[in-house]
Amino acid sequence: MTAAAGGRGRRSTGAGGAGGRWTSTAASREGPLDEKDILARIDEYVGEEQRLRDRYQHGDLDRDEEHRRLEDLEVALDQCWDLLRRRRARIDAGEGPGEADSHVRPPDEVEGYLQ
């Protein structure tokens, strides 16, 4: 299954936004995002996650740095999946994706969900 086809069940307490990741401020600057943009971002983050794991396995990254950066990626991925679910729910309900569903919610809001 590709990253674009499934969701993530992980929860993290890391802070998002490092290394060019989405934050509520950054999302506002980027403007509304469509599904294609969100899926592309998910694929980008999954690829980055794999590169980090490879770098750690080859000794190019220490464990603490890998852990911190993976936490950041997990938060960013959770934000993407949250945004995608909200957009799809509105469409399934017969509504168009609204302006509010075109922006990423803050990490503390997204990370507080239980699934």
**How much is the pTM?**
0.68
Q: Is residue 1 in some structural domain?
A: no
- The DSSP code for 100 is G
Q: Is residue 101 in some structural domain?
A: yes
**pLDDT digits 0-9 by tens, 79-95:** 999 999 988 988 888 88
The Cα-based distances of 96 to 9, 82, 91, 103, 111 in angstroms read 26, 17, 5, 14, 25
> How many structural domains does the chain have?
1
Q: Is residue 13 in some structural domain?
A: no
Which tokens in the block code for residue 68?
Answer: 């911190």
Mean pLDDT in order along the chain per 10 residues (115 residues): 41 39 45 84 96 94 93 94 90 78 81 66
Q: Is residue 40 in some structural domain?
A: yes
Q: Please give the Cα distance from 37 to 17 (Å, whole number).
A: 17
**pLDDT digits 0-9 by tens, 91-105:** 888 887 776 666 788
Q: Which domain holds residue 45?
A: 21-110
Give the pLDDT of residue 115: 56
